[in-house]
Structure 1
Amino acid sequence: MRVKSRQTAVPFLVLCFVLAFAGAAFAAAFSDTGGHWAESRIVEWAQKGLVQGYPDGTFRPDGEVTRAEFVALINRAFGIAKAGAAGAVFADVKPGDWFYEDVMAAKAAGYIAGYPDGTFMPDRNITRQEAAVILARLLGLQPDAGGAAGFADGGTIGAWAAGSVGAVARAGLMVGMPDGTFMPLKGTTRAEAVVLLDRAAAYKPAGTIEGSVTLDGRAAAGASVRVFAAGGFVVLKEAVTGGDGKFKVELAPGEYDVTAAAAAEVAYAGGVKVASSQAARVSLALEPAAVLSGVLKDKDGSSAVKNTAVLFTTNPTFAARTDGEGKFTVPVLPNRTYTVRTYDPGKKDAAPEVVKTGLEVGPAGKYDIGTLNAPFEVSAVSGGGGGGGGPGGPVVLTEISAGTYSDARGYKIASFGTFGPASGTATFTSKLIIDPGDTGTLTLRNISAGEIEVLSGGKSSVHTQNVNAGRLVASASGGVKIEAGEGTVITTTEVQGETHIAVAPGASASFGAITIKSGAAGKTVAFSGDLSGSTVTVEAAVTLQFNEDAKLEKLVIDAPVEVSLSGSGSIGTIQVPEEIGQQGTPVINFSSEINIGKLELYAPVEFGGNEDKVDEINNKLPRIESFAGAAPGDGNIIEASLNNISTTTAVKVSRDCSLALNVEGLGCVSRFNLTAGANDIYNILVPGAGDIDLSDLNLSALYSAAVDCPDGTKNDILNAVDYDDLYSILAGPGGVKGDIIGVLEGVLDEINDQATEGEINDIINALEGVKDPGTMRDALETIVFTDLLDAVARAGADTALAVAGAVIDIAGILRQNGISRDKILDTINFGAINKESLFDWLSRIDGNASALTIQARLTDAAGNTGTYTVNIVKQ
């Protein structure tokens, strides 16, 4: 007969049967979700701790969600860390509001912007179109106003939201109503919010193909790049190389063929594999082409097929577009045999039809292949409008008038001058590309667009007046200045190259949330003017040049990279998120004249640059001068000995501040208020010491670590359990113990696995043996909860599902009897566990039992925050 260890019995019961159930399934038992269309998702999210119900045991799935609640759900689902901020960004969001930190985190993350009057309206129910805008920003989806037009009530969707509605519909995140409408002003229910965000969390963003095109070893500017599905002949994406010969296109994961063409040269790469969120890189070297010219007419030769794509396929495929007379010119690879296809203008969305097979093409050179006849008839006025571009490529504009521009191919400005109506608004429902070249000045005025991309321009080239755009992408590799004039409002700005972001003097304008992407790595991004409403998020190693009049609200370093700050402008706050510390240590170099208001460093950071400025920056931060007898080293790392950790631990700090101690994977375990100079901190390793609420601790991590502890540590945990309190919980006003036994007996009828049945019977017998606090420990000593988990894992899906159902039912019993997670945590007196056992327990949470790593975060009254890494080791 197998003998089960007495030392492991109760900790496993308490930490798994109670704590793990409480942490993962407390919120899963709701009295009003049975049979609801979203029941399974609600239960799953409740088990993960992402949603909670109401004190009366309901979830109220059809109740509507407020804007504040929606933001809080997003932050939990996507792991966006809360980050407090001094002052109020929105007039109606103030410190002390329950949603304050969530809204501030959302603003910092760049997925909310608020209303024009400076409010957020946190208590207002969120509409479907507002939810679409937030998700599109959150996931970085490309606007698609044309997709919004596909709904029966597309005309009622706000112009500011149309691109986002189309984007989330295209991504499959939001769907219309059964009658084909979108209902943009309808509220979003709690159930809808859970399902919507569940889809969003599972969404896999597209990857990219990034490449370069060269001719005779030099960058080939202005080359046309086209992407096809591998072995296919339909153009999926197009791009034009910049001055450096580079291009970038976004694509769903898959395998593709890529061609590049200039006036008389071509290049090809086949089998390019694109993975989600990754960049596939290709290099295309142009070679002399066979340049084919001809005319495309209809079946009987009476009418030209105008403004239509013509495809020459032999794998690869090369494409051209007929002009207003049906004429075309296309460079192709020489010495090949081609099949020619084209589209019937009278058949919308139809596949291209074969025009000619077996077209033999000789060596490089020019060929007139004469007239080709399509297999269909067209009228004399057939074909589309627009001004050039390749097949499926953007329509080139020479002027812009008031009205709506909705060609799915998008639009392109390829010259300098003023574009936009003098009065009224030009609305673009597809992408507007700015590609005028490297010299001159271009002005956009009175334009509304879902997305604007700047591919080229000079140092003072692009100016805007009364321009509203959901997304602005600056990807001019040769450098471009984009100056926002009066009335310009950009929701998000993405910088992919050397760029000067400027707000015109005295103008009321905004670039929204600005993100500096990998394409700008190694380059300089300049700022000037009043950018006080913008947060700049840096994801690449760059130099940020701040002109004297530049005023930025917040700078977020969102990658472990080196960022140099030059110039003499001002930055309200520099923030480094906590998760960056897990990837590496960012470096910030300061010039002597740059002005910094506040630092929120939630991960260790290295400073460099002007020594006097570095001293000034360091003096802004509250500092740990010694911790348990050890001084900080490079990178704010403190190596402390467990021998110096006792009931009272000496910590010396530079000024009055709060100290929060975080264990990676567990959360904040303690918080203390310190005064300048030496402090004695009590029970520094004890979860719950100081002014801290443990309700957010990762209880599953706490249990998993306990499983791996040596027997001596498990016994210390066992001795720390308050059996009077635990017995009171199990006895309960409604007979909790009996109800739990009833659930477990019921699950025995649903499973057919001997090992699992035996483990559940052990638990039932143990619970039945609990007569009073004095007998609880002996009565439960037969249980090893991990044996149940192992048995369930071996038994298969049906048994696991039945046991999971029992967990949910037990959670419901606990909830109905007013038993909270905090109440269960209170049954363990962490302070009664000796420091060696606490070390053994907590150090196992991050998988390294030889050292306990703690993030020590100091915050002063001004909100300046500095972070140290404390490695506690046994010696």
Structure 2
Amino acid sequence: MQMKWRQLGRRFIMKALVLSIALAGTAFGSVSAAKARSMAAASAVSFTDIHGHWASREIVEANKKGWIRGFPDGNFRPEQTISQEEFLVMIERVIPSFPGHEPDSFARETYLSKAEGRWSYGTYAHLLSAGIIPSGKPTEPLDRLEGARLMLAALGQQSEGEKYRGTKSRFFSDLPVEEEYQVMTVYPAYKLGIITGYPDGTFRANEKISRAQAVVLISRLSQQIEDLFPGQVSEEEKQGMRKTVASFMEEVMDKQRIRRYDELVSYVKKKELPASPQFLREHFSFMNYEVYDFVRFPQFNELIYYAKIGNGKYRMTVQYYSGEPGGSVDRTFYLSSTDGKTFQLIGKDE
């Protein structure tokens, strides 16, 4: 099931999905994340103020990998509160590179105007297409709730929050189950191991995050990326997976403009398209309704995670901004292949 979160703390909404796909996407942003990591790693220095610090090992490692930068005076300032823009740049350096695309006028005005003229504007614009969107101003301190939300988006795991809708389980003494937005953000982040609570049983959602704590968080983010998306998927396989899904979506939704489920099933069968009945049920069952809301599918130039999860079975998760009212969305596709070149679209449990 697909889950979309309205951005910036608004209520969660479940919407059926319809597509406006564009296969071709142009690279967006002045410097790619991969290049930024390379540049940062090449200029890595030894910080003068982390000796004996509890997070010194993580800071040194993150510095070597090009995830972080210090200050001109040679300090890292580990106990200084990190800003939202600083944390966003860290995330961009950790996640896989992706082209992204130009935002529409609404998204630009709503989410990018606050970063206009800032050194971080390129990062804001780049990550917007992936639906990784800070809620406050760039210079505002990052709190633990916001950090958890951004990392869930960066992992393509926001939909995990749906598991905790209406839950009666209480993980933290200071996080009432009635606070649904916080519960659906904090609980999955906690279960994934990217953020923890305190020994006294509290979470402290509004507590500000230090630069040292931020380094620990992105280190966990990096580890979770490896754990959640296993297997060595070659570039050829990635290209084949992406092309198979995107081509199918473009064919049935844009070219044929199919909007009824029975028509879709008939067309797929007639044209012998590489999609199983279970795949169609999982991704297009909304077409069975007489009326449904329009929320865009990805353009497939956003943040994409690939995994090889079995013998000839693959998983592809796309994290993207779907426009309003959908907001930030993660959507997962399953594929099979016997040769790593030709792919079939299948259901999750096939």
Which bracket does the TM-score occupy, shorter chain normalised?
Answer: 0.5 to 0.7
| Structure 1 segment 428-447 matched on structure 2, within 5 A | none
| Structure 1 segment 711-730 matched on structure 2, within 5 A | none
Work out the CA distance in 2 between the residues paired with 1:106 and 1:175.
25
Residue number in structure 2 paired with 1:66: 83
Letter in 1 for 2:210: T
Residue number in structure 2 paired with 1:185: 206
Work out the CA distance in 2 between the residues paired with 1:188 and 1:491.
34
Larger radius of gyration: 1
Residue number in structure 2 paired with 1:41: 58
Q: Which has the higher helix share?
A: 2
* CA deviations over 1:171-219 (Å, ceiling 9, x no partner): 1111111211111111111111111111111113547xxxxxxxxxxxx
> Shift in Å at residue 96 of structure 1?
3.1
Residue number in structure 2 paired with 1:797: none
Aligned partner of 2:326 among 489, 511, 524:
511
Q: What 5-or-longer segments of structure 2 have no aligned partner?
A: 1-38, 234-260, 263-277, 301-314, 316-321, 337-342, 346-350
* CA deviations over 1:779-822 (Å, ceiling 9, x no partner): xxxxxxxxxxxxxxxxxxxxxxxxxxxxxxxxxxxxxxxxxxxx
CA contact (8 A) 1:28 1:43 kept: no
Work out the CA distance in 2 between the residues paired with 1:276 and 1:154.
39
| Structure 1 segment 328-407 matched on structure 2, within 5 A | none
CA contact (8 A) 2:100 2:127 kept: no
CA contact (8 A) 1:129 1:184 kept: yes
Letter in 2 for 1:58: N
Work out the CA distance in 2 between the residues paired with 1:157 and 1:30.
44
| Structure 1 segment 296-307 matched on structure 2, within 5 A | none
1:147/1:33 CA distance change after superposition, 3 Å:
farther
1:202/1:148 CA distance change after superposition, 3 Å:
farther
Work out the CA distance in 1 between the residues paired with 2:57 and 2:40.
18
Total equivalences in the alignment:
229
* CA deviations over 1:471-521 (Å, ceiling 9, x no partner): xxx634694457249xxxx9999999xxxxxx9xxxx96122456653599
Alignment pair present for 1:77 and 2:94? yes
Residue number in structure 2 paired with 1:483: 292
Residue number in structure 2 paired with 1:160: 181
Letter in 2 for 1:102: T
TM-score (norm 2): 0.53
Aligned partner of 2:70 among 53, 62, 65:
53
* CA deviations over 1:595-626 (Å, ceiling 9, x no partner): xxxxxxxxxxxxxxxxxxxxxxxxxxxxxxxx
Residue number in structure 2 paired with 1:385: none
CA contact (8 A) 2:149 2:186 kept: yes
| Structure 1 segment 563-642 matched on structure 2, within 5 A | none
Work out the CA distance in 2 between the residues paired with 1:480 and 1:491.
18
CA contact (8 A) 2:112 2:124 kept: no
Aligned partner of 1:104 among 114, 125, 135:
125
> Shift in Å at residue 24 of structure 1?
4.0
Tell me, what secondary structure is at the counterpart of 2:113? coil
Q: What 5-or-longer segments of structure 1 have no aligned partner?
A: 1-21, 208-252, 254-274, 278-437, 440-454, 459-473, 497-502, 522-539, 543-875
1:73/1:457 CA distance change after superposition, 3 Å:
closer
Work out the CA distance in 1 between the residues paired with 2:182 and 2:298.
17
Residue number in structure 2 paired with 1:169: 190
Letter in 2 for 1:125: P
Residue number in structure 2 paired with 1:346: none
Work out the CA distance in 2 between the residues paired with 1:194 and 1:130.
15
Q: Which has the higher strand share?
A: 1
1:94/1:195 CA distance change after superposition, 3 Å:
closer
Tell me, what secondary structure is at the counterpart of 2:292? strand
Residue number in structure 2 paired with 1:129: 145
* CA deviations over 1:342-379 (Å, ceiling 9, x no partner): xxxxxxxxxxxxxxxxxxxxxxxxxxxxxxxxxxxxxx
CA contact (8 A) 2:112 2:125 kept: no
> Shift in Å at residue 140 of structure 1?
2.2
1:148/1:41 CA distance change after superposition, 3 Å:
farther
Letter in 2 for 1:48: K
> Shift in Å at residue 80 of structure 1?
3.6
| Structure 1 segment 115-264 matched on structure 2, within 5 A | 115=135, 120-141=136-157, 142-143=160-161, 144-145=163-164, 146=167, 149-155=170-176, 158-203=179-224, 204-206=226-228
| Structure 1 segment 315-326 matched on structure 2, within 5 A | none
* CA deviations over 1:406-437 (Å, ceiling 9, x no partner): xxxxxxxxxxxxxxxxxxxxxxxxxxxxxxxx
CA contact (8 A) 2:177 2:183 kept: no
Tell me, what secondary structure is at the counterpart of 2:114? coil
> Shift in Å at residue 79 of structure 1?
4.1
Work out the CA distance in 2 between the residues paired with 1:82 and 1:121.
24
Q: Share of identical aligned residues, percent? A: 25
CA contact (8 A) 2:40 2:67 kept: no
Residue number in structure 2 paired with 1:238: none
> Shift in Å at residue 148 of structure 1?
7.6
* CA deviations over 1:383-422 (Å, ceiling 9, x no partner): xxxxxxxxxxxxxxxxxxxxxxxxxxxxxxxxxxxxxxxx
Tell me, what secondary structure is at the counterpart of 1:135? helix
1:173/1:108 CA distance change after superposition, 3 Å:
same
TM-score (norm 1): 0.23
Work out the CA distance in 2 between the residues paired with 1:156 and 1:491.
31
Give the superposed CA RMSD: 4.5
> Shift in Å at residue 67 of structure 1?
1.4
CA contact (8 A) 2:55 2:216 kept: yes
CA contact (8 A) 1:32 1:59 kept: yes
Letter in 2 for 1:180: G
1:135/1:480 CA distance change after superposition, 3 Å:
farther
Letter in 1 for 2:146: E
Tell me, what secondary structure is at the counterpart of 1:59? coil
Structure with more contact order per residue of length (Cα contacts < 8 Å, sep ≥ 6): 2
Work out the CA distance in 2 between the residues paired with 1:74 and 1:174.
15
CA contact (8 A) 2:153 2:328 kept: no
Work out the CA distance in 1 between the residues paired with 2:181 and 2:330.
20
Work out the CA distance in 2 between the residues paired with 1:93 and 1:76.
21
Tell me, what secondary structure is at the counterpart of 2:129? helix
> Shift in Å at residue 39 of structure 1?
0.3
* CA deviations over 1:715-750 (Å, ceiling 9, x no partner): xxxxxxxxxxxxxxxxxxxxxxxxxxxxxxxxxxxx
1:199/1:147 CA distance change after superposition, 3 Å:
farther
CA contact (8 A) 2:197 2:203 kept: yes
* CA deviations over 1:238-291 (Å, ceiling 9, x no partner): xxxxxxxxxxxxxxx8xxxxxxxxxxxxxxxxxxxxx699xxxxxxxxxxxxxx
CA contact (8 A) 1:52 1:59 kept: yes
Work out the CA distance in 1 between the residues paired with 2:51 and 2:296.
41
Work out the CA distance in 2 between the residues paired with 1:75 and 1:185.
23
CA contact (8 A) 1:25 1:48 kept: no
CA contact (8 A) 1:128 1:186 kept: yes
CA contact (8 A) 2:172 2:202 kept: yes
Residue number in structure 2 paired with 1:235: none
